[in-house]
Chains A and B, each alone.
Chain A
């Protein structure tokens, strides 16, 4: 939109009022001083004036606060950096057509939750026919051959299955993030594929999960990271883009 402002502030109920709400806990017994401490923190966060609208003692020596107030920061939309979708979003029908006409065989996808992560909700949302939010999963795509290995798959098992299924792409879902398990597991996985297969023969490595930073692909050694709210259609479109359209264009 051409008329959109490039410098903005948070919006409470009036343009430019800069109002935000935050909540936090301080390890302090609830009294006047604790509320003063909450105001001090809010001020240091750039909230000024800060209104402590709620303060509640919790257990021994903790107080929970809700603070409303005005921040003095400005947001420069020109300076925002995100990973924009750099491929066309295709319908299931178009995905099938491109694969059929240009790959001339089924595209093989292997998916798993690796490590100790037992949460299959992510990989199932993308792979199962059932899909998510009314959109069918990759198993529904006629030209995709999907192998869903489920939960708690070891990295060697995944590499072996990818080899056996001649995987064009490997999809790994990571939900548990305690002690950065999702990052460790992803690095272990990408290293194992680098070790097991030469560069031109390696499948496309894709990880997904609600807590990934989509710009960390190089650091994690993968081709693509999908964050919260990704749909099967986006993944399928990306597969076609990365494995067929873009590859042909580069050749």
Chain B
């Protein structure tokens, strides 16, 4: 604790303890259930690739075939590798094709057959995880060669054309213009697809699909850019929606560097079933931990639907929960891009001081996490001149409070998808502020007993009260009752529930076994 806010360490410890109390039942739930997407991720690690002529991935066809014969509760690894051993084959994709044609029957083996299937599955999945390990080592080498950005916060810029072949030159141009992290925005509809599309996207709605091929193409292009600009340019995509375990796996295999991966976003903003989300969430975070990927959590979204002053404490609570879930899944502090945002109505008196209090609170609570600082969106209007000023203050708040990752705000937010000139003006704004005041966080110590310290302590207090209430009723009930972002999401409703199964006694997931053995 750097102690700029005089937070009471006893209260901070208590907040973490309450977050653990609220989160533990959800972890227990995640440990005793699986989902179709977790099982498909296991098959992807075991080497199943490609899709049928209709574009349905073979992992989907294979998981569906296994589930139809023996259910999902044993895990698909053992029935699949049992069939493979019986077929005398090692090609899992070929097996998926046969299963889709109806020429393979799956059973849950026992005794010696089960042991043989288990060890075959573990070998195949282990090979997939070793590929992720190699990509991580490769990243470490490239960072050593090209270097990290010279300044903090890292400058994070979005490209969103809907055509990956347009995104790539824009991403490279952004890197040349100073971006340290590039996020390729995903097509808005993908969250609710229960499969990961294949191939390069040419025509997406408000973004491209998260596909293995898009990941590969963009990462390769940014490797070129890293060499050119002399610093390692990081690439971000999304592990969210119904397929987050698979997206995390593909990100690990293709050396993405950051993934948007919030514990509750899908539940609140996409109406995905809470149990499905928490099970998928835990597996995806275990993969991210192994792959050395920095996760970005989505607390900024609460403030776009709820009031940024009244509900500031829900951001703190969500950050504490995200931290608990992340640590539990094996992520280290340096991998926690906990989110928060500059979304207070600029008409509110002292709005900038309130923003500083909230941003500094996050900084002090999570001193070793690369906090992700998100720009104003809710109060951006067609007045682009005022928007540019607001973005300047956002950048200043980021510099003053030592944020780790700064998502560049666009003055044309809420007007158009950013133009080339909008991005240039936005980067000029960031460069001016970081150039003029980049080190100001050293000098910025709010006065004892002053407005900022009082406000930060008040928000922490409100967060503790909320965590207390959640602890009494469980997190699932709190979500059902609309505690976060106003949305009410009961545990027995929402999309993707039919893809959840409770573990049978002989449930086997070699990926989880390997990932947990290392943690």
Contacts and interface: CB of A to CB of B under 8 A. Distances in A.
A188 to B, nearest CB: 14
Contacts of B323: none
Given A25-B420, A59-B420, A118-B269, A124 B189 contact: no
A181 B205 CA distance: 8
Contacts of B191: 118, 152
Max count, chain A CB within 10 A of own CB: residue among B188, B189, B378: B188
B155 to A, nearest CB: 16
B206 interface: yes
Contact of A178 (B162, B421, B425): B162
A149 to B, nearest CB: 9
B204 to A, nearest CB: 9
Chain A interface bracket (under 10, 10 to 19, 20 to 34, 35 or more): 20 to 34
A5 to B, nearest CB: 26
Contacts of B487: 150
A87 interface: no
B486 interface: yes
B420 A151 contact: no
A173 to B, nearest CB: 13
B270 interface: yes
Given A118-B269, A179-B205, A228 B382 contact: yes
A121 B304 contact: yes
Nearest to B203: A179
A91 to B, nearest CB: 23
B192 interface: yes
Contacts of B206: 116, 176, 178, 181
Contacts of B192: 152
A151 B269 CA distance: 7
B205 A178 contact: yes
A25 B417 contact: no
Nearest to B301: A118
A210 interface: yes
Interface string B391-414: 000000000000000000000001
A178 to B, nearest CB: 5
Nearest to B417: A178
Interface string B294-307: 00000000001111
Contact of A58 (B162, B378, B414, B421): B421
A24 B419 CA distance: 10
B1 interface: no
Contact of B188 (A56, A118, A120): A118
- Which of A56, A116, A117, A176 has the most C-beta atoms of chain B within 10 angstroms of its own C-beta? A116
Q: How large is the interface on B (under 10, 10 to 19, 20 to 34, 35 or more residues)?
A: 20 to 34
A64 B421 contact: yes
Interface string A35-54: 00000000000000000000
A23 B385 CA distance: 12
Contacts of A178: 162, 205-206, 417
Contact of A128 (B304, B378, B486): B486
A130 interface: yes
B424 A58 contact: yes
A60 interface: yes
Contacts of B270: 118, 151-152
B424 A176 contact: no
A60 B486 contact: no
Nearest to B428: A56
B243 to A, nearest CB: 16
Chain B CB within 10 Å, residue with most, of A62, A117, A178 = A178
Interface string A123-150: 0100010100000000000000000001
Nearest to A210: B414
A116 to B, nearest CB: 4
B320 to A, nearest CB: 25
Interface in B453-492: 486-487
Interface string B28-55: 0000000000000000000000000000
A112 to B, nearest CB: 12
Given A124-B305, A178-B162, A210-B414, A116 B378 contact: no
A185 to B, nearest CB: 10
Contact of A176 (B173, B205, B306): B205
Nearest to B206: A178
B271 interface: yes
B177 to A, nearest CB: 6
Nearest to A27: B420
Nearest to B488: A150
B176 interface: yes
5 contacts: A23-B421, A59-B424, A130-B486, A178-B162, A178-B205
Interface of A: 23-25, 56, 58-60, 62, 64, 115-118, 120-121, 124, 128, 130, 150-152, 176, 178-179, 181, 210, 228
The 9 lowest CB-CB distance pairs between A and B, nearest first, are A116-B189, A116-B188, A58-B424, A64-B421, A178-B206, A25-B421, A59-B173, A176-B206, A118-B188
Given A24-B421, A25-B421, A116-B187, 13 more contacts: A23-B421, A58-B420, A58-B421, A59-B176, A64-B421, A118-B269, A120-B305, A151-B269, A152-B188, A176-B205, A176-B206, A178-B417, A210-B382
